[in-house]
Amino acid sequence: MNYFAHGMRFCDRPYFLAGTACPDWLSVADRRVRLRARRVEPFADGSESPEAEIAAGILQHLEDDQHFHQTRTFVETSAELTRLIRRVLGPEDGFRPGFLGHIATELILDGVLIERDPQCLDDYYRAIDALDGELVQRTVNKMARGETNRLVGLIPRFHAEQFLRDYLDSVRLLYRLNQVMRRIKLRQLPDELADVFDTGREFIRERASELLPFPSADVSPANTNHKTHR
């Protein structure tokens, strides 16, 4: 799962929502800093303090991912996207098709959820804008293996750029993935992959509820209730 799928239910709890984003923020900002459940759990004391909310959000992220990666639909979808990507990139492209099949499944799912409830994405970014980045960083440093000074700068950039909106469109999604390719010093991806992402999008639209660790009614196209679930 990616940022929006993790956090969309918690837009009225900004620090819980921040916790759901923290593992992914760290993967961008400071990969050497890791969050593990056993170190986070003592801070999730149910007090509803910002620290406890961040800890509970991190645990929610870890629980969500465990469910997500074990679903049959994730295995089937990522495998099919991997096959289609390898057809475009060629069999000599090594591990990249598998990596891209995995990550594209997550990003396209975010796009599908956003198109079903675009107002919720506005609520999501308003919650991010309400955060005290220094408080988030201090809290993460209490719980993590290692310390970072990079979250405080990343959080406002994450809000300003609002790149989750690009996941609605396969061409823009490809642009964002090519940014990742540049960051990790791999070759740029060809334009033909946008068509592959369109194919994956149709499949994920049909089976989104099978990927998620919460009731499918929460992501129904007819759902206009933006209250979150605890």
Residue ranges of the domains in the chain? 3-216
The pLDDT > 90 percentage for the chain reads: 88
Quick check: 29 and 21 in contact, CB under 8 A? no
Residue 193 sits at φ, ψ, to 5 deg, of -70, -20
DSSP character at residue 34:
B
Quick check: 18 and 136 in contact, CB under 8 A? yes
pLDDT score for 91: 84
- The model's pLDDT over 62-78, given as tens digits with 9 standing for 90+, comes to 999 999 999 999 999 99
Q: What does pTM read for this prediction?
A: 0.91
Distances (CA, A) of 70 to 1, 30, 57: 12, 27, 20
- The model's pLDDT over 107-126, given as tens digits with 9 standing for 90+, comes to 999 999 999 999 999 999 99
Residues whose CB is less than 8 angstroms from the CB of residue 209 and which lie 6 or more positions away in sequence, other chains included: 215, 216, 219
Work out the pLDDT band at 225, boundaries 50, 70, 90.
very low
Torsion of CA 26, 27, 33, 37, to 10 degrees: 80
Work out the pLDDT band at 92, boundaries 50, 70, 90.
confident
| Residue 13: strand, helix, or coil | coil
Least confident of 91-95, 106-110, 162-166, 173-177: 91-95
Work out the pLDDT band at 94, boundaries 50, 70, 90.
confident
Residue that is written with structure tokens 């509820």 in the block: 209
Residue 226 sits at φ, ψ, to 5 deg, of -100, 15
Closest CA to 18 of 117, 126, 131: 131
